[in-house]
Amino acid sequence: MDRLLSMGVFAKAVESGSFSAAGDSLNMSSQLVGKHIQVLEQYLGVRLINRTTRRHHVTEAGFAYYERVKIILAEVDAAEGMAAMSSGTPRGRLRVNAPVTFGVHALAKHLPHYLAAFPEVSVDMSLSNRYVDLVDEGIDVVFRVGELSDSGLIARALAPYRLQLCAAPSYIARHSVISHPNDLALHECLGFSHTELRSRWTFMGSDGEFIAVPVSGKLMVDNGEALLVAARAGMGILLQSSELVRDDIAAGRLVEILPEFPVPARAFHLLHAPDRRMTPKLRSFIDFAIATFGIDAKSI
Would the pLDDT of 132 be above 90? no
226-272 pLDDT, tens digit each: 999 999 999 999 999 999 999 999 999 999 999 999 999 989 999 98
Q: Alpha carbon 187 to chain centroid distance?
A: 30
Average pLDDT, stretch 73-89? 69
- Rounded to an integer, the average pLDDT of 117-134 is 88
Please say if the pLDDT value at position 87 is more than 90.
no
Is the pLDDT assigned to residue 175 strictly greater than 60? yes
- Please check the confidence at residue 276 and state whether its pLDDT lies above 70: no
Give rounded-to-5 percent helix, strand, coil for the chain: 45, 20, 35
- For the entire predicted model, the pTM comes to 0.68
Closest to 44 measured CA to CA, from 70, 66, 12, 19? 66
pLDDT of res. 123:
94
Residue, of 2 and 141, whose pLDDT is higher: 141
Per-residue pLDDT band for 15 (boundaries 50, 70, 90) equals: confident
Q: Name the residue among 142, 166, 167, 161 with its Cα closest to residue 243.
A: 161
What is the model's pLDDT at position 150? 60
Question: Between 86 and 110, where is the model more confident?
Answer: 110
